[in-house]
Amino acid sequence: MFRLNLKIALRNIQKNVGITSLNVGGLAIALAAFILVIMYFNYETSFDKSNPNYNNIYVVGRIYPDFKTNYTAPPFAKAIKHNFPEVEIAGITKLDPSWELVIKNGDKTVFAKNFLQADYNAAKILDLQPIGGLEKPTGDIERLAYLSTESMQILFPDKTDNSPEMVGFGPSTSGITGKINGSITSNRHSNINFDGVSIANELGKSENYGHNNYTTYIQVKPGTDIANLEQKITNLYRAELLKGETDQSTIDEIKVISTFLDPLANLHLKPRAGNDAPYKILIALSILGVLILVIACINFTNLSIAQATKRAKEVGVKKVLGAYRFQITVQFLTEIFMQCLLATILALILAELILPTFNNLFEINLSIWHADNSLIWQLPVILCLITIIAGIYPSLVLSGFKPAMVLKGNFSTNKQSYWLRNSLLVFQFSIAVIFIIGLFIIHSQLKYMRSQDLGFEATQVVYVKNIMIFNDPAKFKPVREKILKIPGVESATVSTTIPDGSESGLNGYTAGGKQANIDFVDVDFDYFETLGIKLKEGRFFSQKFKTDTANSAIINESAVAKYGMKNPVGQLIRGCNMDYKIVGVVKDFKTQGFENAVQPTIYGIKNPCGNLKVHIMLKIEESKMAGALAALKAQWPEINTKDGEDFRFEFLDELYGKLFKKQEQLQSVFFAAAMLTIFIAILGLFAFAKYITNGRTKEIAVRKILGASDIQIFKLINSSFLVMVTIANIISWPVAYILTKKWLETFAYRVDLSALPFLMSALITILLTVITVSIQAKKAVKANPVDGLKYE
């Protein structure tokens, strides 16, 4: 019996090779897209899962009335461990991604962009494992330093063991040397990435609760009540801050501060004190993948039902010979399983071909043929599911034919099947319309982001990487003078951050009796001129005014609004235990891109609580850019004597452009999804139109004999399909409006929703429908009526 069913299945596939190819091909394309999506989903949701204590590790953060942060002070970890027995271990780390450590061995150099500082407890929590095992610094050794295996290979290419090595730090003229105790492998599939690690017994020994620039990790006992622990840690933090405090306004401010515990599992996609855009994009991408697979299954169902009449006699004969409905259902499900299996094999081949492009788009390194790939067990489950989803209804329809009726020649499916086919087609086009609208709106937002005034000029600005500290303007002055002698260089400055989306510092400032936490950026002369930032009132910093290096400050428009100032120039603003005199107000400029609103910010040359001024920025004439950069590289050892061996630079507009990366990825994904959805929907429409047209051959012949023109017949055939496409647009517009509106709300600066994307989606789908159906109808319209009626 099995051999007979197999022969029938193969013969049926051979007889209907066109429809089968459409079925299998459409499903294979959708499956290939779904395989890539599920691989990406597995990758993004498995960060840090290799940590044995993955489910019990939390980051301790702070919540203020107007912001959240993961940064805490060094003493806090000790206090938590001492007061709460449910906390097994607590440790702190410090990582400054803007700081680049230069490490040398002779003529070989490594630039460690992410050099992680961790105490021994944090190293245990994060499962940092140097080659040879994790050791605790003992005796006079305060720290143990390790470099990544890649960096060690560069510095010591002939090294075969893991023994310690002496290296130089900074330029070779600095004379600073130190010991690298060995190498460590950085887990690239982790939120804690580094080029090197420094493990200490204790970090921040001399720092108090005012130095909030560390990350605190805790590992709790299994089964701990996290909500209860969170509240107890909040009470502890307030108690620590209130020690010795007598100022009532400060006490009131401390009482509204709270803490939170963020699971390690949240850090990559949806941190509580961070941007959850990656999580939203992952969910959107996953939904797209599922929808593409669903419409492919709908295609399969539609085409299988459309083919039902060709198998009616076969079913009738089998039932007369004694076959049960269950047996026939199993037979057809087996046939569909074979087609789905073939589609899966083709999908794997397609996915493998597309994977390099996909990896390049998302800057990852996925592989299908990987030993621990979850796809190994997920794919068989998916295969069974799509077989059931795509095949169960057609199998029930086919096995449900009544022998007496089909053997008399009544092959028509019932009205329920007719309505189901039409409903499924409407659903397919509804999804396609949503994708098309989404693509148009994403494109509009990206175009808006690229064309809008940022409030500063990133073009022609060169960011020079540097490790020297220029907090004192007198130290940077001779460097600036030498730089400005190079033809083409218009201005030069140094600051604590660059406007590339990097977070600036945050501190409490008081103005007009109102206290608020606002951003601060420490700058030097010519900062605003170099970036082309516009002045609203007052003046920029100038070397003509000696007080500018002592206590002058410039604030932005958002800071003026935050404090409710009128005529802010000349007023005082207090922070870091000193009074600043506001000498100017600059217009807001978008340092954080378009997703975050411009933050209230104060700019000062002197800041006792400030960060390190190491970021050099130069404004260079476009026509002289190449010559100026060549001259800078040649003269850098003389210009910046303590960091002159390694001239490294990046263009600021390219760095700022990286803020659009996620949205550009989303646009690419939506474009691919829209094309795939339209292709699969048109594929189904093409086959469905062929089936409908073939079924109306006699009707068309009669109408032509009665005088109907070709245009009238084309209109007749297209009308039912146009109704379905119109219904699909009407259904999808509200859904698309809600989804795109919610996406746009993630941007502080965005385009307004217009009717154009909705009208364009309707025009595109209607046009594609008319073309597709007309191609199929052409043969029937042009056929001789006699051929359609000669057997009547």
Tell me the two tokens of residue 61: 């953060």
Residue 561 pLDDT grade (very low, low, confident, very high; cuts 50, 70, 90): very high
Q: How many Å apart are CA 698 and CA 591, to the nearest integer?
A: 69
Q: Which of 85-99, 390-404, 702-716 has the highest mean pLDDT?
A: 85-99
The answer on pLDDT for 628 being more than 90 is yes
The answer on pLDDT for 790 being more than 90 is no
Higher-confidence residue of 485 and 13: namely 485
Q: What are phi and psi of 569, to 5 degrees?
A: -65, 125
The answer on pLDDT for 370 being more than 50 is yes
Query: Residue 714 CB: number of other CB atoms within 10 A?
Result: 17
Contact 147, 192 (CB under 8 A): no
The answer on pLDDT for 407 being more than 60 is no
Residue 375 pLDDT grade (very low, low, confident, very high; cuts 50, 70, 90): confident
DSSP-derived letter for residue 469 is -
The pLDDT value given to residue 307: 64
The pLDDT value given to residue 292: 83
* pTM, full prediction: 0.80
Q: Name the residue ranges covered by the structural domains of the chain.
A: 2-43+287-449+661-789, 54-225+259-266, 467-642
pLDDT digits (tens, 9 = 90+) for 533-542: 999 999 999 9
Q: What are phi and psi of 196, to 5 degrees?
A: -160, 165
pLDDT digits (tens, 9 = 90+) for 562-594: 999 999 999 999 988 889 999 999 999 998 888
Q: How many Å apart are CA 164 and CA 180, to the nearest integer?
A: 6
Q: How many Å apart are CA 64 and CA 234, to the nearest integer?
A: 12
The answer on pLDDT for 28 being more than 80 is yes
Please give the average per-residue pLDDT across 766-784, as a whole number. 79
3-state percent breakdown (helix, strand, coil) of the chain, nearest 5: 50, 15, 30
Higher-confidence residue of 326 and 740: namely 740
The pLDDT value given to residue 162: 83
Please give the average per-residue pLDDT across 238-265, as a whole number. 87
Please give the average per-residue pLDDT across 608-628, as a whole number. 91
Residue 2 pLDDT grade (very low, low, confident, very high; cuts 50, 70, 90): low
The pLDDT value given to residue 5: 64
Please give the average per-residue pLDDT across 111-121, as a whole number. 89
The answer on pLDDT for 74 being more than 80 is yes
Closest to 600 measured CA to CA, from 503, 523, 520, 495: 520
Residue 528 pLDDT grade (very low, low, confident, very high; cuts 50, 70, 90): very high
The answer on pLDDT for 403 being more than 80 is no
pLDDT digits (tens, 9 = 90+) for 334-349: 778 888 888 899 999 9
Q: How many Å apart are CA 637 and CA 618, to the nearest integer?
A: 17
Please give the average per-residue pLDDT across 538-562, as a whole number. 93
Contact 420, 305 (CB under 8 A): yes
Q: How many Å apart are CA 698 and CA 458, to the nearest integer?
A: 69
Residue 676 pLDDT grade (very low, low, confident, very high; cuts 50, 70, 90): confident
Using only C-alpha atoms, the chain has a radius of gyration, in whole angstroms, of 34
The answer on pLDDT for 69 being more than 50 is yes
Rounded to the nearest angstrom, the gap between the alpha carbon of residue 432 and the centroid of all alpha carbons in its chain is: 23
Please give the average per-residue pLDDT across 80-93, as a whole number. 94
The answer on pLDDT for 401 being more than 90 is no
Rounded to the nearest angstrom, the gap between the alpha carbon of residue 489 and the centroid of all alpha carbons in its chain is: 37
pLDDT digits (tens, 9 = 90+) for 455-468: 999 999 999 988 88
Higher-confidence residue of 305 and 257: namely 257
Q: Do the strands 535-538 and 572-575 form a parallel or antiparallel pair, or are they unpaired?
A: unpaired
Residue 532 pLDDT grade (very low, low, confident, very high; cuts 50, 70, 90): very high
The answer on pLDDT for 410 being more than 60 is no
Q: C-alpha distances in angstroms, 363 versus 26, 664, 673?
A: 28, 13, 19
Q: How many Å apart are CA 241 and CA 237, to the nearest integer?
A: 6
Percent of the chain with pLDDT over 70: 89
Q: How many Å apart are CA 621 and CA 626, to the nearest integer?
A: 10
Max Cα distance, the chain (Å): 106
Percent of the chain with pLDDT over 90: 35
Q: How many Å apart are CA 600 and CA 562, to the nearest integer?
A: 7
Please give the average per-residue pLDDT across 242-260, as a whole number. 85
The answer on pLDDT for 747 being more than 90 is no
Residue 305 pLDDT grade (very low, low, confident, very high; cuts 50, 70, 90): low
Q: How many Å apart are CA 348 and CA 31, to the nearest integer?
A: 8
The pLDDT value given to residue 791: 45
The answer on pLDDT for 416 being more than 80 is no
The answer on pLDDT for 371 being more than 80 is no
- What is the full DSSP assignment across 209-254? TT---EEEEEEEPTT--HHHHHHHHHHHHHHHHHTT---HHHHHHH
The pLDDT value given to residue 321: 66
Q: How many Å apart are CA 450 and CA 659, to the nearest integer?
A: 11
Contact 121, 90 (CB under 8 A): yes
Contact 595, 747 (CB under 8 A): yes
pLDDT digits (tens, 9 = 90+) for 484-504: 999 999 999 999 999 988 878
Summary mean pLDDT of the chain: 84
Q: What is the phi-psi region of residue 532: left when phi exceeds 0, alpha when psi lies from -120 to 50, beta otherwise? A: left
Higher-confidence residue of 318 and 572: namely 572
In the block, which residue shows the tokens 């190491």?
Answer: 614
DSSP-derived letter for residue 585 is E
